[in-house]
Structures are given as C-alpha cells and as structure tokens.
Chain A
Amino acid sequence: MGDRLNLIQQEALASIEQAKDSNVLEEIRIKYLGKKGELTQFLRGMGKLPPSERPIMGQLVNKTRRSIESALTRKNEAIERESLIKRLKDETIDVTLPGEKPQLGGLHPLTKVLNKITDIFFGMGFNVAEGPEVELDYYNFEALNIPKNHPARDTQDTFYINENVLLRTHTSPAQIRVMEQQQPPIKIIVPGRVYRSDAVDATHSPIFYQIEGLVIDKNITMGDLKGVLDIFIKRMFGERTRTRFRPHHFPFTEPSAEMDANCTACEGRGCRICSNTGWIEILGAGMVHPKVLEYGNIDPNDYTGFAFGMGLDRITNLVYGIDDIRLLYENDIRFLRQF
C-alpha cells in the first residue's frame, strides 16, 4: 500500500512540475485530490485494511495529500508570477513620449513682479492701499505742493478730463488720501496704473505702473528711508546688490533722493543695460514735505515720514531682461507664455 502511495505522489509531483498553466494544475488537482481522485479512492480503499494499520496509513495519505497540495500551490504561484512578468513586459510603454499636459495659463509679468514686491513690503509691515485712476487735480498736484502754474503741471505731461479732473500722473495722490483717512503710524504701499501723455516708444508708454510707498510716524529719519529701501533692493535683486542715494528734487519731499542699484548684469563694471555707469536708477524718494503733511492734516512738528515711488514696468523689464516697454501692453500670447 505504502508503495502505491509513493507512486501516486511521485506521479503527481512530476505532472505538477511539468504543468504550464493553471488549467492543467486544476486538472491535476482533480485527478489526485478531487472527489473521484486517486488519493480519495485510495482513502476509501483503506477500509479494507486491518484497523491497526489504518491510523498509520491515514497519516501517510495525509502526508501525501499535503505534499501534493503544497506542490500545487507553489506551482500555481510560480505560474502566476510568470504570467505577471509577461503581462508587465507586454504593458511596457515608451515613457519618453510627451506627457499630456493640462493647460496652465500665466500671470502677466507685471503682476508677477508686483506680487514679489508686495510680498517684500508685507514682510516689512507695509499694508497695500489703492486710489482712483481718475483723480482730482487737488490730490494729484495741489496737495502735493505743486501749485497752479508749476512747471510740473505742463499739459504736455498730464491728461486732463476737465480743469479739476485728470488721469493721475503718479500714485502719490494716494499719500494725501491715506493721510486723510488714517492717523499715523502709516506704513503703506500703493501700486497702481498711472498716465502720462508720452508718445509710445521703447521706453515710454502713456500708461504704466507705479508703486508708491509712505511711512509716517514719530521720529522717522532719512536713515530709515535708506534702510527700508536697501532691504527692498536686496530682497528684490539679491543680497549682494548695493544701493546708492543721490540728491534729487521732488516738490512733495525734502530732502529728496533718487536711488540707484548697482547693475547686476555687469556687477558695476558698466554695460549696455546701465549705460556704462554701473548703476541703474530704480526709484525716487524723500522725506515727506511738511506742507504735504499739513495738507493731510498731520502736524509736521509731531510727525515725520518718508515716501518713495518706483516704476513697476522698469523693474519688471530689469527682472526679465525685457528691452521694450511696448511688449508689456501688446499681450502677444507668445510673450505672455514666457513667464
């Protein structure tokens, strides 16, 4: 009997070994372990054995069964793995083919640079305010210490709607509007669209963007003005950028200054971008004129402040190396896609 059992086991294991797919394995399982399978038959035949041999034989049969079962499982796993490997191989794709991109649009370069500037000033505690683009003469000129008949009012530069209403020529009118609404401390920037009646060329546009800054508090000094703007420039153009302040004139600040940053393109050696000076003019600034504080109902004996104004277009052009301001307003999609 034992020999018989051995034979069945050998036969079974050999055919499992040779099986090529899971169907064959299933047939093998039925042949040996099924209801009418050989091992089952064998078990049934055990009734003929004397009772004393049955337990031993039973153990033997179970052992054989387990060995066939585990061989079946092993083979099944092996076949599945093989077919998985084959499937994975069949599924291989050319991963170097282009991806299917969802379409992403883009912000205008002016907006991108403005966002960066705004973030820098937020970091220094400046809020962002706004003012109207169509403005009263009073705010644009008079309250900024530019009285009637002042040369800066030349109609050649200003678009007028009527005698009292104009398109703001700078963001500075917001200085007065903020002072009227808020007592010091004041710490704001005012970005916005401004208008100058300049004919269009590579460096002039009748519409452009400015960012005004205003700080008013007790004991504000020109050193503070320099400190704040120097930090701004370093955050904007890199920590190695240096600034230079030159005396200048604005009717609404005194002392007034223009600030240059050293040219990062040539590291100050002189190149086309900086017209060989090594410096690039970035902004105008100064200590708020006492008359302007008075127009804003702030007592110049108690408070001082500084203001600055910069051209966003100019800074954007510097950041991206754009050499023609007209590109910013043409909205050529090939241009817009570059940012």
Chain B
Amino acid sequence: MVTERGRIMLVPIKWLKEYVDFDITAEKLSEAMTLTGSNAEGISELGKDIHNVLVGRILDVAVHPNADKLVVCKVDIGDKILQVVTGAPNVKVGQLVPVAIDGALLPGGTRIKSGKLRGELSQGMLCSFQELRLDEYGEIDNGVDGIYVVDQEYLPGTDIKDALELSDEVIEFEITPNRPDCLSMLGIAREAAVTMGTRYRFPEILVKEISEKAEDVVRVIIEEPEMCFRYCARVVRDVKIEPSPRWMRRRLAAAGVRAINNIVDITNYCMLELGQPMHAFDLDKVADRTIIVRKAQKGETLITLDEQKRILTEDMLVIADPEKAIAMAGVMGGLNTEVTGETRDIILESAMFEGGNVRLTSKALGLRSEASSRFEKGIDIVNVERAIDRAAELIVKLGAGTVLEGKVDVSTLPLENRIIKVEWKRINSLLGLELEPCYISSILESLSFKNEIKGDWLEVIVPSFRLDVEGVVDLAEEVARIYGYDKIPMTLMEGSASKAMRTREQTLTDKAKNVLVAMGLFESITYSFVSPRVYEKIGFDIQDYPKSVIISNPLGEDQSAMRTTMIPSLLEVLSKNRNRSADECKIFEIGNVFTVDPENANGLPLEKLSLGIGKYGNRVDFYKLKGQVEVLLDAFGLLKEAEFIVSAHPSLHPGRTAMVKVEDQKLGIIGEVHPDICRNYGLDSGALIAELDFTLLLDIAKTEKYYTHLPKYPSVARDLAIVADKDILAADIETVIHQVGGSLLNEVKLFDIYEGKQIPQGKRSLAYSLSYLSMDRTLQDKDINPIHNKIIDALQTRFNAQLRK
C-alpha cells in the first residue's frame, strides 16, 4: 500500500474559533480529530519563545555619563519604573515600547538579566522588530533603525504578546488527497464540529455594492466548457493598495502565508478560508474588458507573475483577452495584467477549472502553485460564488476599493445535487456493526449529507464539496469514522479450516538459507539496481553485456540499471567490508536478477532468482567454496548429478573457474575472482564467488527421498594410488574408475594428493579409497581383484597413469 503524502493545512486555533465554539485544548482537539480522520501531525505554539516582554512607556531619556552612543531611559511598566540603558537612536519620551524585563526570554533563546552597562544600572532591554522576530507574525517592519514602537495605546505593563496578539496555537493537519475540502478553514471547522458533536457556523456574507453593474463592465466567454466549469468575475473600482490590517496579517502568517498587500491578502485569505483560489487582473490592462477562457495557441507565450517566459502548447488552458493570454488558468497569472501600485480598477476571478488539465499544465511548465494543487484535487463549485462574494465583502470592509453590483457568473455544469441510493444494511455488514438506520442517518446528516430512509434504502444527497463520495463504501467510511473505528468490535472471520502451507519453493528457499547459514555464511540484502558501467568493472566485454532493464528516471546514472547478475552486488559488499578492515567476510544473497525479455508481449522482463556466494579471508579457498556448493546441491538432492566443469568467466581467474552443470543444464559458476577485478574492488587479498541460477535450482531439486535397504554384508575397502600427469583432471580419472568399477564399486573417495619428492616433475600422485559392496553376499578377493585390476589397467591405458607402490 502506498501512502500518498498528504498536504499540510495549518490551522490557527483563534481563527478556527470564528467558525466553531469549543474550549478543549488544541491537543485534545487534535487527538480527537485524528481519530475521526483529520490526521494532526503536531501543534506549534506561537509566541512561545517570547516571555516577560511588557509594553513600557518611556518617561525620560538621559545621556549616559560614560558612553556617547548610549542613553539611560526611565520606563514605566505599570507596577514599577525601570531604568534601562539602550543604544537605540529612535527613543523618545512618551513612546510605548517592548521592554524585556529581568529574566525575560527572547526568540533564539536569549535571556535578559539586570546588570550594569558601562557603569549604569540597566534593568532590562528595549526590543527591536528583529529581536522579537515580528516578521514571523506577519508584522510590517517599518524599517526604523532601533526600538520597535507600539503604534496603538496600551496600558504599560501589558504583555507584549497580548498587545500585539502574538500568542496562538497552530495545529498542523496532514490532509489526505481525497479530502481537498479540508484544505480550508471551513472544511476543518466542519470536521471539528462533527468531532466535538457541535455545530459550525459560517458568517453571513453581506457585500456593500455601488449601483454600477459588473455585467456592464466586463464580459466572460468560456470557449472550453470541458475544462472550465464555472467562472465568476466581479469588478472593484478605486482600489487602494496598502497593507492589510493586523488581524488578517496575523492569521495569514499563522497559516503559513506571507502577507503582501490588501488585495493579494484578501484573495489568499479567502482561499484559506474557503479553499477557493482567486486571482485579480488590472482591469485597464484587459483588452476590451473581455475575459476569454480558451486553449493556448501553438507557440503562444506568456510571462507569468514570477517573471518567467512560458512557451505554451495547445492543450493548455489560458485566460485571455481578445488580444493576448493573461493567465495560465488555475496555475498563475500573467505579468501583463498584474495588479500594481498604479492599478485603479480590478477584475476578481473565482473559477473552477478541470483538475486533470491544471495538473498537466503545471507539470509541463514545472510550475506548481497553491492554486494549481487545489484545482488538481478538485474544488467545491458552490464555493466559486461564495468566495468571490466573501472577497468583495472584505474589500469593502478593509476600504480597499468599491465593489460594483453583482457579478458575471458563467457555468457550464448544471448545479444540481448528486444523489446516491444505498442499502443501509450494507453499511453495517461491511463494518461488522448493527447500527440503527436513524443513527446512520444522523451521522451522515451531521456531515452535511442530507438523507432520507426509505425502507431498506437510504437516499443521500452528496454535498458539493465531497467529490470523493461515490457509493456505499464511501458512506460506510463516513459512518465508521464518526461512530469511531475504535468501537468496531474485533472479530475473526468464519470460514473453512486453514489450508495454509509453504509452497515447495518457499520450503526450499528456507532450506537453502539455513544450510548456507549453518556453513558460516551471512545473508546479505543489496539494492537491485547497479550502474550500467559496472559490467566493465567486473570484466565483461561490451558484447557480453546482458540486456539490462533500464530505469528511465533513476536517482542517478549509477543506479539506473537493474542487475542482470549477482556478481557486482557480492563484490560491492565484500569491497565495503574490506574497506572497513574486516579481516574476513563470507556472505550469500538470494535475490532477483532481471533481463530484457523480447519474447514477453506485455513488456515485462525476465525475473529470475539468483543465489550468490562471496567471500574473502584467511581460511577461504576454491575447494572450501566448492565444498559448500556441493553440500547445498546435496541438500537439494542434486549432488550425484552435479558436474564441475573447467570453464572460463570474465570476472574469474582463468585457471580457477568451474561451471556447475546438472544434467546438461548450466546451473552457475564458481571460482576465484580475477586479480584485475579484485583490484577494481580493492580486494587486495583475493576473493571467491559463486553464482547459481536459483530459479532453476528450485525447479530441478529432488526432494523426494526413498529408503534403500541397509547392506547386510560388509563393504571391502581397497586403496589405489596412481601417479599421473598434473593436467589430467581428477574428475576424468574418477569417471573412468566408476565406469570400469561397475555396480560392485560402491564409493570412490580421494584421500590424498601429493606432488614433490619421489614424484616426477609435472606429475602428481592421487590416492583413492575404493569401497566395494554387494547387497547379496560378502565379497571375496576373487570378486574384487579382477575389477580392481581392470581399473588399474584402464587408468594406465587412458591416462598413462602408473600405480604407485
């Protein structure tokens, strides 16, 4: 299951209380809302890092006797008068200023203590804008060098946090992608109210309009009804661009949005409040005062508000006037119609664009905005109108302009209710509950789903902001989350007796791992992608490269190819451990390797399990590794059939490489790593690896065992030592011994190899112990001698081997 990263909605508690009454703590609220589906990630406390900073009135400013640049102030902080030394150039008698008193805490962790400054007592500190970090609260830095001057009248001694309204708590909600409606204060208020079992309210919107009609000023034409479902425009005249009031700046800042100016702030405020993105155009710059919603023309360009020149394609939706594009619909406005200090009149836009197109456009332009991400997820068509009215109301309230009567409202989608009919019993049966239908109904009602019970059926009107609700399962979730997931009783499904068991492959894989672990190997797990250049590093010629599956958008070039062999993974692990000075390292890994499969019509590659063993260290050599592979093959019932054939492999030592074959199928390779490759991996003391096709191994494993009767007669052992040329392979000698030995020869064991004194140069002595056995009688010399002699003769004629006496 993929958890999509949700979007963060910052909810200031003071703002939330405008829509819903509650007196539980922010912590309690966030816990409760988490359990009804609004996941609270944390709470931040605004103003927490300012402590004991009071509003003080400057009563007197005197020259510091010992310092030119300092002054000594008498400051009234209500219950007493403090002497404070400051270097601020702007202090004047009568000012109200923030005074950090003895023991105060400032942002950044600074503590203020009483003390002497150049010989004069200073019982605190007068604070500047920066020292209080007021920008974080959306406060405007007036640019004055020195003390921050409080611009309103407060009683001396008032806590600065109360005076400037700095304290608040902000809950950080992670909103899941199916609930874009909760990316707004209104949506959160709705959820909070249901969670606490109360009601929410939205202030009634009253717009003071002047008699001039908006529809006489501006025209809206939607040319693409599939991409723009509703477009509302209002006209505002005599706009006065100025900072917005403190309460609005505080709320925006607490919600994580930077205050700019009244018009921008109002559109942002409405977006946060209602979830509806809005935009403002400079009316005079819109040709013919006509808004056209159309597709971009091929090669059309637009410089967006971020001053980037955008080259548009025909599938992008733009807002245009008859002459030019003026905005990327739902993404960002154009610089050509930007609202500036000179702007007199504006057109306010509130619209609903199709999410998929907004997403494609913003992706194509590499431009994601707050607006675009909201359109992508879907907005509430009813809010399109409500938001523009709210903005108009605020514009008047803030004195930012005068609003013309009415609005132009074009919709291409019928504004009708979506009704779904469900059997209410199915809600219970899905949840494992037995709720009364009227209870189900009341939960849905509290979530703004108007509904009616008609016998077994429930008819539900889905509110316009709940685009995610389509059927009975969605309603079941609504009921369950408000009823409480906790209250759903835990049950275990009934059903037939368990039929679970490990598959043959699972059993064998476990067995292989356990056998390898028992032999001292540690299991490693490595990434399955490698650098395409790794093949050079392991000695493959270009033409030998297996066809790799290539990731089109890798994290980096060096992680862009799916591995086709386990060898680089093994060597990488050995190399890392060698670098960390581990004196030995013995590992194995069972994992998938991938090769392009031209046979497969659906485009999937061939995925095969590979078993790799890698090791270096003091007590490792080819024969120990081979022995381990043999034990593994034995565990899989394949030792008798397995052959180790002299072979060559680009990563391995040419004289120390064997191919492992079972019944003519190539199972893998085993060998000492080539010194060149060791050097590439910093394995100065050498290394050994084996790689087996584990999918094949699972396939051909012989797991059935049958009992053979224990022999009733003793076996007879005969030793056989021969001297032969060194390059005659032991395997060939053994094959001949077996061939000639026939059915009475039960076992052949090599117990000694010797070169040196008494053995001619270029030859070696091999000593075998041969065991003869018959199941029906005790073997006598007369049975064995002829066979044994025939073996000696055969070795002599085939290999020119001499019996060693």
B502 and A122 form a contact (CB under 8 A): yes
Q: Please provide the chain B residues from 172 to 218 with a CB less than 8 Å away from any CB of chain A in the complex.
A: 176-179
The answer to whether A227 and B492 touch across the interface, beta carbons within 8 angstroms, is: yes
Closest 5 CB pairs of A and B: A223-B432, A221-B432, A125-B498, A309-B1, A247-B37
* A215 x B522 contact (CB < 8 A): no
Contact of B490 among A157, A223, A333 (CB under 8 A): A223
A275 to B480, CA, bound (A): 27
Known interface pairs A132-B607, A290-B471; A249-B553 also in contact (CB < 8 Å): no
Does B796 have its Cβ within 8 Å of any Cβ on chain A? no
Question: Could you write out 30 A-B pairs with CB less than 8 Å apart?
Answer: A105-B519, A108-B523, A127-B500, A128-B502, A132-B607, A134-B549, A134-B605, A157-B2, A172-B2, A185-B495, A193-B592, A207-B527, A207-B529, A219-B494, A221-B432, A223-B431, A223-B489, A223-B490, A224-B432, A224-B493, A245-B485, A246-B34, A248-B39, A249-B176, A250-B2, A283-B1, A289-B473, A307-B1, A329-B527, A332-B582
Q: Which residues of B contact A157 (CB under 8 A)?
A: 2
Tally of contacts, chain A with chain B, CB under 8 A: 258
Those of B415-454 within 8 Å (CB) of chain A: 429-433
User: Which A residues are in CB contact (< 8 Å) with B585?
Assistant: 333
Task: Report chain B residues within 8 Å CB of A219.
Answer: 429, 493-494
Distance in Å: Cβ of A100 to nearest Cβ of chain B: 13
Q: In the bound complex, what is the Cα–Cα distance between A124 and B3 (angstroms)?
A: 26
- B12-20, B281-289, B554-562, B720-728: which one contacts chain A? B554-562
Report the Cα distance A110→B526, complex, angstroms: 12
A105's contact among B34, B520, B577, by CB below 8 Å, is which? B520
- The answer to whether A105 and B555 touch across the interface, beta carbons within 8 angstroms, is no
Q: B501 on the interface (CB 8 Å rule)? A: yes
Complex interface: stretch among A16-24, A59-67, A75-83, A159-167: A159-167
Known: A256-B477, A329-B526. A170 touches B430 (CB 8 A): no
Q: A107-B517, A250-B1 are in contact. Are A222 and B488 (CB under 8 A)?
A: yes
Contact B480–A134 (Cβ < 8 Å): no
Give the CA-CA distance A219 to B431 in the complex, in Å: 10
| Of A104, A125, A245, the contact of B486 (CB 8 Å cutoff) | A245
Judging by beta carbons under 8 Å apart, are A105 and B603 in contact? no
Q: Identify the interface centre among A133, A169, A247, A304: most chain B CB within 10 Å of its CB.
A: A247
Do the beta carbons of A223 and B356 come within 8 Å of each other? Answer: no
Bound CA–CA A252/B178 (angstroms): 12
Which residue in chain B gives the minimum CB-CB distance to A221? B432
Residue pair B522, A336 in contact (C-beta under 8 Å): yes
Q: In the docked arrangement, what's the CA distance between A134 and B555, Å?
A: 17
Question: Quick one: which of A88-128 are within 8 Å of B by CB?
Answer: 102-108, 110-111, 115, 121-122, 124-128
Please measure, in the bound complex, the distance between the C-alpha atom of A329 and the C-alpha atom of B518, giving whole angstroms: 22
Q: Please encode chain A, from 183 to 222, with 1 for each CB lying within 8 Å of some chain B CB and 0 for all others.
A: 0010100000100010100000011001010010101111
Across the interface, name the chain A residue whose C-beta is closest to B36: A247
B550 touches A287 (CB 8 A): no
Residue pair B555, A247 in contact (C-beta under 8 Å)? no
Chain B interface: which of A2-10, A48-56, A148-156, A266-274? A148-156
- A308 on interface, CB distance cutoff 8 Å: yes
CB closest residue in chain B, given A126:
B500
Tell me which of A161, A164, A170, A331 contacts B576 (CB under 8 A): A331
Q: A337 near B522 (CB under 8 angstroms)? A: yes
A165-B603, A287-B430, A287-B473 known; A227 vs B527 contact (CB < 8 Å): no
- The residue in chain B whose Cβ has the minimal distance to the Cβ of A257 is B485
Among B37, B506, B592, point to the contact of A248 (Cβ < 8 A).
B37
What is the minimal beta-carbon distance from B373 to any residue of chain A, in angstroms?
9
Select the residue from B39, B481, B522, B527 with max chain A CB neighbours within 10 A. B522
Q: Closest B-chain residue to A168, C-beta based?
A: B2
Residues of B within 8 A of A257 (CB): 485
Least distance between B625 CB and chain A CB atoms (Å): 14
**Are B490 and A230 in contact (CB-based, < 8 A)?**
yes
Name the CB-closest residue of A to B482: A247
B520 contacts across to A, CB distance below 8 A: 102-105
Q: Is B142's beta carbon under 8 Å from chain A?
A: no
Interface membership of B360, Cβ < 8 A: yes
State in angstroms the CA–CA spacing of A308 and B1 once bound together: 7
**A-side interface residues, number (CB < 8 Å):** 94
Residues 483-535 of B contacting A (Cβ, < 8 Å): 485-486, 488-503, 506, 510, 513, 516-529
Using a Cβ–Cβ cut-off of 8 Å, how many residues does chain B contribute to the interface with A?
A: 92
CB–CB A152/B4 < 8 A: yes
Chain A residues in the interface with B (C-beta under 8 A)? 102-108, 110-111, 115, 121-122, 124-128, 132-136, 149, 151-152, 155, 157-162, 164-165, 167, 169-170, 172, 185, 187, 193, 197, 199, 206-207, 210, 212, 215, 217, 219-224, 226-228, 230-231, 244-258, 283-285, 287, 289-290, 304, 307-309, 328-334, 336-337
* Given known contacts A151-B377, A333-B587, A248 and B480 CB-to-CB distance under 8 angstroms: no
- Nearest-Cβ distance from residue A5 to partner chain B, whole angstroms: 55
Closest to B357 in A: A149
Q: B488–A226 contact, CB under 8 A?
A: yes
Q: Is B602 an interface residue (CB 8 A)?
A: yes
Q: Quick check: is B340 within 8 A (CB to CB) of the other chain?
A: no
Q: Which residues of B contact A124 (CB under 8 A)?
A: 498, 500
A121 to B520: give the CA distance in the assembly, Å. Answer: 29
Determine if A105 and B522 form an interchain contact, defined as CB atoms under 8 angstroms apart: yes
Q: B596: nearest residue on chain A (CB-CB)?
A: A161
Question: Would you call B474 an interface residue if the criterion is a C-beta within 8 Å of the partner chain's C-beta atoms?
Answer: yes
Contacts of B488 in A (CB 8 A): 222-223, 226, 245
In the bound complex, residues from chain B placing their C-beta under 8 Å from that of A304 are 429-430
Q: Are B36 and A105 in contact (CB under 8 A)?
A: no
Closest to B562 in A: A134
Which chain A residues lie closer than 8 Å to B588 at the CB level? 105
Measured CB to CB, the nearest residue on chain B to A228 is B492
How far is it, in angstroms, between the C-alpha of A107 and the C-alpha of B512 when the chains are bound? 11
B469 to chain A, nearest CB (A): 10
CB A232 to nearest CB in B, in angstroms, measures: 11
Query: How many angstroms from the CA of A27 to the CA of B551 in the assembled complex?
Result: 94
**14 additional contacts (CB under 8 A) given A227-B491, A247-B477:** A105-B518, A106-B522, A108-B525, A128-B506, A132-B607, A193-B592, A226-B488, A249-B176, A254-B473, A255-B430, A290-B471, A304-B429, A333-B582, A336-B523
CB distance from B422 to the nearest CB of A (A): 12
Does A159 contact B513, Cβ atoms closer than 8 Å? no
User: Nearest chain B CB to A157's CB is how many angstroms away?
Assistant: 8
Across the interface, which residues of B come within 8 angstroms of A284, CB to CB?
A: 1, 3
Q: Which residue of A lies closest to B580 (CB)?
A: A332
* Residue of A108, A161, A255, A307 touching B476 (CB-CB under 8 A): A255
Nearest residue (CB) in A for B556 is A199
| Chain B residue, CB-CB nearest to A222 | B431
B513 x A107 contact (CB < 8 A):
yes
